[in-house]
Amino acid sequence: MSKTLDIQQSIVAANGNVSLAKELFSMLLNDLDVRLGQIETSFRNNDLEVLSEHVHKLYGATAYCIVPKLRKSAEVLEDVLRQKEHSQLTELVNDVVDKMKEIITTGPNYLEVDWNDFQ
């Protein structure tokens, strides 16, 4: 099973800049509550166009913060929405929501460690 956050790869994605990598993750973490609400609301309202936009933004936000489980779940959901294959939509949205909640819960722990140890 993959990690919630891969600090080492996040530093690599930030071109070796530890403080930038940590700042990007902090920004993602701070944004997740709002984005979670947007995804849940658009899904509940069956507004698949808006849901697709929110999932696309979420997927993009995971490009520099290496959160492999969330990134993969968002990618799968985005593909399903784009292809309009909605038979597994509830399951996939729930998976993304679960991964987001996992980061919201465990993310602060990652901010407490010294990221310089991961270079």
Averaged pLDDT in 10-residue chunks for the chain of 119 residues: 83 95 96 97 96 96 92 96 91 98 95 93
Which residues, in sequence order, are CB contacts of 110 under 8 Å at separation 6+? Answer: 4, 5, 7, 25
d(CA 49, CA 9): 32
- Give the chain's domains with CATH numbers: 7-108 (1.20.120.160)
Residue 52 identity (one-letter amino acid): S
Do the beta carbons of residue 47 and residue 59 sit within 8 Å? no
| Long-range pairs of 40-49 with CB within 8 A, sequence gap ≥ 24 | 40/97, 43/89, 43/93, 48/81, 48/86, 48/89
Do the beta carbons of residue 93 and residue 109 sit within 8 Å? no
Do the beta carbons of residue 15 and residue 56 sit within 8 Å? no
Hunting for tokens 């509940």 — which residue is that? 44
Hunting for tokens 């996939």 — which residue is that? 92
pTM for this structure? 0.92
- pLDDT for residue 2: 55
- pLDDT for residue 119: 82
Q: How many CB atoms lie within 10 A of CB 80?
A: 19
